[in-house]
Chain A
Amino acid sequence: MSGAIRDPRLRWAAVFAAAVVLIALPFAVDAVLGRAWVRIIDVALLFILLGLGLNIVVGYAGLLDLGYIAFFAVGAYSYALLASPQFGLHGSFVVVLPLAALVAAAFGVLLGAPTLKLRGDYLAIVTLGFGEIIRICLNNLNRPVNITNGPQGITLIDPLAIGDIALNKTYTIAGFTVAPVHSYYFVFLACAAASIFISLRLEDSRIGRAWIAIREDELAAGSMGINTRNVKLLAFAMGATFGGLAGGLFASFQGFVSPESFTLLDSIMVLCMVVLGGMGNVGGVVLGAALLTALPEALRYAGPLQKQWLGDVYIDPSDLRMLLFGLALVLMMLFRPAGLWPSTLRRREFAGGEDAHAAQ
């Protein structure tokens, strides 16, 4: 990406322009499309965070994780428990948010440690089971001792706040109305930008190359002196950290968490984003997350359109969305396995499938 623009002055101008666009975006969207779309963009940013986290595990290290939403859940609940009336704790987000990410990372290691030996499909199944176990436990930890409030969920979660400045209030700064959705946009944007930066740096780092080596051939990577155990654990922990951070932000943004937000379907959704956009490529993941968050919103118009053209609603928009997801997964694997915006390495790998298979 960075190689595209050679002239440093032009590069800075591009960065500046991008920054201006990104800062102006929520206000422009608010004015043109309405505040609900700012909220949709907020959610998309959260999914970008999640997608980037999963990308580390699936895209870089090649470990298929079907229970990734569990880390999102762990992060969300950690934040919720430490900053809500549930236990009467109201920690500052400066402490609670990193803590949520840390707890998620610990769970990442917890999942990673026993599954080190497993590869491919077995790992997929174990992670799927792990995701379901977390959800079932969150749903049932209200008896005999009430911890998570069970299926009723946790309400009145604290917003992000420093002193009296809380992000759930509306402010007027220099004539601009800054509503909660706007303030959260900037927080999420900052987090997403940081994650993109970290992801890009990781990709080219020693660790990133070690992950890719493991993905290509674990045995060879091991014999080249890579400590495969630690490197894999690190992938799980890093991926989980991103998920946990996104979870904490989600909890503060929504003010409410309940187990029904963390189902297997959500795990598959995030996986779709990564696969569709392009496994292992940061730009692809961002594209995938943005596309898949906007798609259901666009599909809302499919119902009325069907009614207008065909006289009745034959395919429920939410069904249509799932059908398209399923179809997209199948077609992508058949015709464009490396994603819409593939990483160069990945594309080579999928194209040279015969050799890759023989190596296994």
Chain B
Amino acid sequence: MVRAPVIGLGLALALILPGCGKEAPPPPQKQVATPQPPEAVTVKIGSASPLTGPQAHIGIDIRNGVQLAIEDANAANIEIGGRKVKFELVAEDDEANPTKATTVAQKLVDAKVSAVVGHFNSGASIPASKIYSDAGVPQISPSSTNPKYTLQGFKTTFRVVAHDDQQGPTLGRYAAGAVKAKRVAVIDDSTAYGQGIADAFEATVKAAGAKVLAREHTTDKDTDFKAILTKIKGLKPDLIMFGGIDPQAGPMVKQMAQLGIKAKFMGGDGIQTPNFIKLGGDAAEGVMASIPGLPKDQMPGGKAFLDKYKAKFNAEVELYAPMGYDAVMVFIDAMKRAGSTEPAKFLPELGKTRYQGVIGPIAFDDKGDLVNGPITIYVVKSGKWDPLETVTPGGAPSAEAKK
């Protein structure tokens, strides 16, 4: 008896369905048809980053940057192709999880976004990029640094951050050059980010003539590094480079001090955080770290951006909000030049971007990587990160750094 309604439901569904299936393709047409010249078109911009979980603070930072850019663009009453455009934010949470990232990517595509800023971590950006590519939606990651992200041959994939193969060598050149390191030990945290940057660093210092005494590994959950540090101590290096993030780097410099290791210590953007100084205490003093982009207050639009961000969200910029902001502006810039908000139309223009953003000049190479993104080296001086020098990979130190 109970079965009858189920069958009925099944039949009903079967009857409804052919209609639904046929209806699916038309909507894009509708979108093209609606905009009568005087009326404003709505263009959706997607933002995908972890809004919950351990990396939420950085993910929310990115979304805030995107939101700020959209509000600024709307305030500027932008016209594209002779029509007024209103931008709308569609923010999704990818939980920094590769499987979730693809679901979220599909959600954004379903929502018919014109462009996506995201994702935060490479593990999410890479699988999601396939879905955006299939749907023809351009994607700019504000923060994914894994070189593989842009090596998949997708035309829709861009990033506005220097990748590990740019940051690692810069750090390496700085170590071999300005720091004059001859005997180097390299440690990584067995993550894509940490290994990528450490590998590139190792290759560069080797090429510059320094000796790599040891390559050690830990994990991104460990806090005990005594064993590998003791081994390194026996090799008497004058510099230790760590590819990883602050929760490990902090205790690591502490344990170096406990073991009486006098070598200098440096790392990538993962350790260039206030938290590193908190976790490392006195031992953090003198530690060097690189970070893609100019120092926040030296960015061309930096001061104004920081003030605006603070006023709007009552919080300090964590890390990647400026990149998120610029990503949106780069999209809008390309739309303006193409005279269209259709992804298919403005995508070719995106590759030709020459944009002066908050983070500095933005241009993409043929893979979609940021060309010559500037990288700044910092040092911890009396409990604060101080900019030491800004370098442009492959080029001479940029003009800003000399000031």
Which residues of A pack against B, CB within 8 Å? 5, 10, 13-14, 17-18, 20-21, 24-25, 27-28, 30-32, 34-36, 39-40, 43, 139-140, 142, 150-153, 155-156, 168, 170, 175-177, 180-181, 254-256, 258, 260-261, 297, 300, 303, 316-319
Contacts and interface: CB of A to CB of B under 8 A. Distances in A.
B106 A152 contact: no
Contacts of A181: 106
Contacts of A256: 98, 126-127, 130
B152 A14 contact: no
Contact of B6 (A17, A156, A180, A317): A17
B13 A156 contact: no
B353 interface: no
Contacts of B39: none
A36 B103 contact: yes
B345 interface: no
A17 B7 contact: yes
Interface residues of B, number: 51
A34 B107 contact: yes
B295 to A, nearest CB: 29
B49 interface: no
B152 A155 contact: yes
Nearest to A139: B190
Interface stretch (B15-23, B370-378, B382-390): B15-23
A225 B242 CA distance: 59
A116 B254 CA distance: 45
A40 B103 contact: yes
A300 B93 contact: yes
Interface class of chain A by DSSP: helix
B192 A258 contact: yes
Contact of B7 (A5, A14, A300, A319): A14
Closest 7 CB pairs of A and B: A31-B20, A36-B107, A176-B21, A34-B110, A17-B10, A256-B127, A17-B7
A154 to B, nearest CB: 9
A270 to B, nearest CB: 13
Interface residues of chain B: helix, strand, loop or mixed (majority)? helix
Contacts of B190: 139-140, 150-151
Contact of A152 (B23, B25, B195): B195
Contacts of B104: 36
Contacts of A139: 190
Contact of B3 (A10, A32, A140, A177): A10
B111 to A, nearest CB: 8
B134 A36 contact: no
Contacts of B52: 303, 316-319
B167 interface: no
Contacts of A180: 134
A249 to B, nearest CB: 13
Interface in B35-60: 51-53, 56
Interface in B104-124: 104, 106-107, 109-111, 122-123
Contact of A31 (B23, B109, B146): B23
Contact of A316 (B16, B53, B111): B53
A142 B17 CA distance: 49
A31 B6 contact: no
A260 B56 CA distance: 17
Contacts of A168: 130, 134
Interface in B72-121: 93, 95, 98-99, 102-104, 106-107, 109-111
Contact of B25 (A39, A177, A297): A177
A14 B6 contact: yes
A34 B110 CA distance: 6
A155 B123 CA distance: 10
From A36, A39, A142, A319, residue with most partner B Cβ within 10 Å: A36
B217 interface: yes
A28 B106 contact: no
Contacts of A17: 3, 6-7, 10-11
Contacts of A177: 21, 24-25
B18 A175 contact: yes
B103 A260 contact: no
Nearest to A14: B3
Given A20-B14, A28-B20, A153-B148, 7 more contacts: A13-B7, A14-B6, A28-B13, A151-B195, A155-B126, A175-B18, A254-B98
Given A255-B130, A256-B98, A35 B17 contact: no
Nearest to B93: A300
